[in-house]
Structure 1
Amino acid sequence: MKPEPLKICILENGLTPADLIDEFGSYPAMIERWISPFLPGAAFTYISPVRGEALPNLEAFDGYILSGSRYSTYEKAPWMLSLIDFLQALKEKRIAVFGICFGHQIMADAYGGQTTKAKNGWGVGAQVYEYVNGASPKAAASFIFHQDQVTTLPPGASCIGGSSHCTNGVLAYDFPAISVQFHPEFTTAYIQALATKFRGTLLPEEISNKALDSIESLEVDNSQIAHWAASFFRKHAYSIPVS
């Protein structure tokens, strides 16, 4: 019997700035464009906790991807608390979940760790991430845009990668969950647009200028992380065999 397509739900925790969405799309759309070439035939559904949409039945999907957000997990907004409950239930059911930026942070909070505002300030632009020996990803540059970090690891989590700016940058759990602080779904054009848009307002001039310089000097290839994440979902999916 032919296996059913892999069903992935992307949870939207943040919104693309209004003046950039026509050009770049929503965060779920960016995530689908990034990973879908590595999950041929997969069906993607978008649900938006940040907009107040109800979270789905846990077992309606083979796996979940959590987007980034401009919000901080320690704000403890009602939708965040509901998402934490949902993540704890996914752990109990051993349903695969992959977190990006805010998603990485709220997973850590849900599973017993802690996210705080980084003492070393904003990380923006491109930065090299290193990985522990034996981890599937290899050292490579990735796009970053954050001022919060996971500062206390949850029980059952291992740090398998990080950067000079963010030590706990990539986490793997002893249940089907992995997460990254960086943005594998971002393109060069989008991170440049963010660094330019927020220069002198949200971002200090110096931070924005350094970010733009880093994007010019470091080549980012997001395909390695897409392959890693896709392999993770294939391994833990209900509906298709491991290839």
Structure 2
Amino acid sequence: MKIGILLTGHAPDNMVQDTGDYDHIFAEMLAGQGFEFETFAVVDNQFPDGADAADGWLITGSKHGAYEDHPWIQPLEALIRDIAAEKRPLVGICFGHQIIAQALGGKVEKFEGGWAVGRTDYRVGDQTLSLNAWHQDQVVELPPGARVLGGNDFCKYAVLEYGDTIWTLQPHPEFNATFVDGLIRTRGRGVVPDDLLDAATANLNGPNNNRDIAVKMAAVFKGKPAQ
């Protein structure tokens, strides 16, 4: 099964050599599930020919805002709507979560409550999942047909589902403690309040549910329930 990775941002330059870019991180996360991957760097205006260029699709995180005026945003939204219309599996993470909501009629904005950074708990059904967050933007209005599967007091629309084929997540299940530490050092200081960064640093090495989310993502791609 071919998964097209829609790369909407790049990992920090001084981290890529050690971690690979975001597409590489996701491919490693989903290794052993029988997938092959092809990356389309939409952030650099590299788009697939259409929704049928892959069996399933994954939209990555990004430092950009879904509401910003970049030349690749509107074509990406059109592609998302085509993927949805063809009922091909689609997973969105962080920015991917946001741009899918926006493309389908929801609203994303810079959240007035500030940032979520580091290991964070989310209520998903009857479970509490710990995942790494790194965002200020949020989905603040749901699109038609979106179903809320999980969230917390800070981010109430953290896990969304659309029909049987689209599943999206605000936090970053692809980020481990080392990667979050790198973001704190390279992109955090001077942007995110120091107290949040200090708290995230102190909490880096706690347990997380990244592996559980990898299983959920693979299930979506294979046409099975993500819950």
Please tell me whether Structure 1 or Structure 2 has the larger radius of gyration of its CA atoms.
1
Q: Given the superposition, is the C-alpha separation of residues 110 and 64 from structure 1 closer, same or farther in structure 2, using an over 3 Å criterion?
A: same
Q: Letter of the aligned partner of 1:25 in structure 2?
A: G
2:31 counterpart of 1:36: yes
* Partner-residue secondary structure (3-state), 2:58: strand
2:215 counterpart of 1:227: yes
Greater than 6 Å deviation, 4+ residue runs: none
* Partner-residue secondary structure (3-state), 1:126: strand
The Cα shift of 1:175 comes to: 4.6
Percent identity, aligned pairs only, is 30
Q: Given the superposition, is the C-alpha separation of residues 17 and 60 from structure 1 closer, same or farther in structure 2, using an over 3 Å criterion?
A: same
Q: Given the superposition, is the C-alpha separation of residues 199 and 112 from structure 1 closer, same or farther in structure 2, using an over 3 Å criterion?
A: closer
Cα distance per residue 1:93-134 (max 9 Å; x no partner): 11110000000000000111010111110111000111125x
Q: Letter of the aligned partner of 1:151 in structure 2?
A: V
Cα distance per residue 1:60-90 (max 9 Å; x no partner): 2110000000000111312011000000111
* Partner-residue secondary structure (3-state), 2:133: strand
Q: Is the 8 A contact 1:196 1:208 kept in 2?
A: no
Inter-partner Cα distance in structure 2 for 1:162 and 1:56: 35
* Partner-residue secondary structure (3-state), 1:198: helix
2:102 pairs, out of 109, 114, 127, with 109
Q: Letter of the aligned partner of 1:211 in structure 2?
A: A
Cα distance per residue 1:188-224 (max 9 Å; x no partner): 10011111223432222112101112324x3113110
Query: Aligned residue for 2:18?
Result: 23
Inter-partner Cα distance in structure 2 for 1:54 and 1:166: 31
When normalised by structure 1's length, the TM-score is 0.88
Greater relative contact order (Cα < 8 A, sep 6+) = 1
* Partner-residue secondary structure (3-state), 1:75: coil
Query: Aligned residue for 1:61?
Result: 54
1:171 pairs, out of 153, 156, 160, with 160
Structure 1 runs not aligned, ≥5 long:
1-5, 237-243
Query: Aligned residue for 2:136?
Result: 147
After TM superposition, the structure 1 = structure 2 runs for residues 203-218 of structure 1, keeping only pairs within 5 Å, are 203-216=192-205, 218=206
* Partner-residue secondary structure (3-state), 1:160: strand
2:150 counterpart of 1:161: yes
Question: In the comparison of the two structures, how many residue pairs are matched?
Answer: 224
Q: Is the 8 A contact 2:165 2:223 kept in 1?
A: no
Cα distance per residue 1:113-170 (max 9 Å; x no partner): 010111110111000111125xxxx321001000000000110101101123211000
Structure 2 runs not aligned, ≥5 long:
none
* Partner-residue secondary structure (3-state), 1:20: helix
Query: Aligned residue for 2:44?
Result: 51
Q: Given the superposition, is the C-alpha separation of residues 212 and 7 from structure 1 closer, same or farther in structure 2, using an over 3 Å criterion?
A: same
Q: Letter of the aligned partner of 2:217 in structure 1?
A: A
When normalised by structure 2's length, the TM-score is 0.94
2:175 counterpart of 1:186: yes
Inter-partner Cα distance in structure 1 for 2:177 and 2:49: 33
Instruction: Output the aligned Cα RMSD.
Output: 1.3
Q: Is the 8 A contact 1:127 1:214 kept in 2?
A: no
* Partner-residue secondary structure (3-state), 2:154: coil
Q: Is the 8 A contact 1:10 1:64 kept in 2?
A: yes
Q: Is the 8 A contact 2:59 2:91 kept in 1?
A: yes
